[in-house]
């Protein structure tokens, strides 16, 4: 029974660090990992390649249904092509936020997301993991930080990769993305009623991981 396979849902805004934290938590527990944001980045990249406008809900959803997506060893494959670097750009991050507002696309990806729910367990990160995709998750975390802190982290990441970066532009993009994610009619970014709020402005990644693992162990010991 799927209900017996535990799920840890980690939601939060862009650049909150939820992907990094979720991946480490999954590794520590030996669980599967779902990077739901990568799915929307893949759709944004694939539709961009086909000159499909990101505002065209029907065309975006239809395109998504044809994609064969696979995750392996921290790499992302689309139709057996490694697109890991292609989808991790700022442009595809913006595109992911734009296509994610479409209800038909979210419906098209629903079964794919649930296919990751396998023994011995799953750690899933995104915007609606705890509210829509896995509402019965054993543990729900809402990981957030101020827009300024998140922008500084993203800026440092880009500089660390020797990529050009402008802090003010990154901050503005994050604020616009936050507004879009929170205001969309389909699965908006909100904290689940039974989620635990984790504000990470003054926490390190290892501290966040340890806190989540302790919360999970506490839940499972009850």
Structural domain containing residue 155: 2-217
Q: Which helix (H) or strand (E) holds 114?
A: helix 103-114
| Residue 206 pLDDT exceeds 70 | yes
Instruction: In whole angstroms, give the CA distance from residue 219 to residue 85.
Output: 37
Q: Which helix (H) or strand (E) holds 29?
A: helix 18-29
Which CATH number fits the domain that encloses residue 210?
3.40.50.300
Q: Computed over its alpha carbons, how large is the radius of gyration of the chain?
A: 17
Which residues are registered as beta bridge partners of 100? none
| Residue 161 pLDDT exceeds 90 | no
What pLDDT does 219 receive?
80
| Residue 37 pLDDT exceeds 80 | yes
Q: Report whether 188 contacts 181 (CB < 8 A).
A: yes
Q: Is residue 158 part of a domain?
A: yes
Read out DSSP for 44-81? HHHHHHTT--TT-HHHHHHHHTT--EEEETTEEEETTE
Structure tokens at 212: 């989540």
Q: Is residue 183 part of a domain?
A: yes
Tell me the average pLDDT across 19-46: 94
Counting the structural domains of the chain, the total is 1
- pTM score, two decimals? 0.89
What pLDDT does 1 receive?
60
Q: Is residue 222 part of a domain?
A: no
pLDDT tens figures, 97-133? 899 999 999 999 998 899 999 999 999 999 999 999 9
């Amino acid at each position: 029974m799927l209900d017996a396979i535990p799920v840890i849902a980690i939601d939060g805004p862009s650049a909150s660090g939820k992907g990094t934290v979720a991946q480490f938590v999954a590794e520590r527990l030996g669980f599967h990992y779902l990077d739901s944001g990568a799915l929307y980045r893949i759709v944004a990249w694939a539709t961009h390649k086909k000159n499909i406008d990101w505002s065209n809900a029907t065309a975006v959803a239809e395109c998504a249904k044809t994609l064969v997506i696979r995750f392996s060893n921290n790499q992302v494959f689309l139709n057996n092509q490694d697109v890991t670097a292609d989808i991790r750009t700022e442009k595809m991050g913006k595109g992911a936020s734009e296509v994610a507002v479409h209800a038909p696309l979210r419906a098209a990806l629903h079964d794919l997301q649930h296919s990751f729910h396998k023994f011995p367990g799953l750690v899933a990160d995104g915007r609606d993991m705890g509210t829509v995709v896995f509402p019965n998750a054993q543990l729900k975390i809402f990981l957030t930080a101020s827009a300024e802190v998140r922008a500084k982290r993203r800026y440092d990441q880009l500089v660390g990769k020797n990529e050009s970066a402008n802090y003010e532009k990154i901050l503005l993009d994050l604020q616009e993305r936050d507004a879009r994610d929170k205001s969309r009619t389909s699965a908006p970014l909100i904290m689940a009623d039974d989620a635990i709020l984790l504000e990470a402005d003054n926490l390190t990644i290892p501290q966040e991981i340890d806190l989540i693992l302790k919360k999970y162990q506490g839940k499972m010991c009850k």
